[in-house]
Amino acid sequence: MKVTRLAMPDVYLLEPRVFGDARGFFVATWEDDVFRADVAPVSFIQDNHSRSRQWTLRGLHFQAEHTQGKLVRCPMGRVWDVVVDVRRSSPTFGQSLGAELSDTNHHQLWIPPGFAHGFLVLSDVADLAYKVTDRYHPESERSLLWDDPALGIVWPLPAGVPPLLSPKDAAGVPLSRIDALP
């Protein structure tokens, strides 16, 4: 598995080896020893799986308490996956980065605790599968406004096509008003 540190501290892109032929492919999506040695010495306590239709935008979510690290992949379809540093003491506070995750590139994104996460579905349908380091705690969940100009996120939406948002995500707050992490 190839592990690449990205432009923000502790955020990594993981590229598993894919063995393919005319019949299909095989890929090992998780290697505990590689992850612990090259990324982070964490334990995952839950696997999650979501399915969304095209132009659905989920996020940008984080937990103010019970912070979660997430290892995210897209086993079906294509998504534009985004992380935002919400740690006030970080030199990259408020900065974002994005990566395409798909069933053809098999890339994974490690999002450490202290980052907001969201994604936009680019294909007709997409599944997102992710491991987390802590359970979901609804009382500590926060939603950062997906289109806050202060974040500078360029979502790859076609002109004139609004994203499909949940009421919670539509009501996200701008970076200037969030309860950021220390």
- Report the CATH number that the domain containing residue 139 is assigned in CATH: 2.60.120.10
122 domain-assigned: yes
61: annotated active-site residue: yes
161, pLDDT greater than 80: yes
**pLDDT tens across 23-79, in order?**
999 999 999 999 999 999 999 999 999 999 999 999 999 999 999 999 999 999 999
**pLDDT tens across 65-99, in order?**
999 999 999 999 999 999 999 999 999 999 999 99
Burial of 62 (0-12, 13-18, 19+ CB in 10 A): buried
Q: What is the dihedral of CA 165, 170, 176, 178, to 10 degrees?
A: -90
- Token digits of residue 151: 């974040």
pTM for the predicted model, two decimal places: 0.93
Q: Which of 98, 107, 101, 104 is nearest to 14 (CA)?
A: 107
Alpha-carbon Rg of the chain, whole angstroms? 16
81 domain-assigned: yes
86 domain-assigned: yes
Q: Which of 3, 40, 52, 53 is nearest to 131 (CA)?
A: 40
49: annotated active-site residue: no
Q: Which of 72, 79, 64, 76 is nearest to 39 (CA)?
A: 72
Which residue range forms the structural domain that includes residue 51? 2-18+27-177
Contact between residue 115 and residue 86 where contact means Cβ atoms under 8 Å apart:
yes
181, pLDDT greater than 90: no
Report how many domains make up the chain.
Answer: 1
- Give the per-residue pLDDT at 9: 83
Q: How confident is the model at residue 158 (pLDDT cuts 50, 70, 90)?
A: very high
What average pLDDT score do residues 163-172 get?
A: 96
- Please tell me which residue in 12, 49, 61, 66 is annotated as part of the active site: 61
182, pLDDT greater than 70: no
- Please tell me which residue in 66, 106, 130, 136 is annotated as part of the active site: 130
137 domain-assigned: yes
67 domain-assigned: yes
182 domain-assigned: no
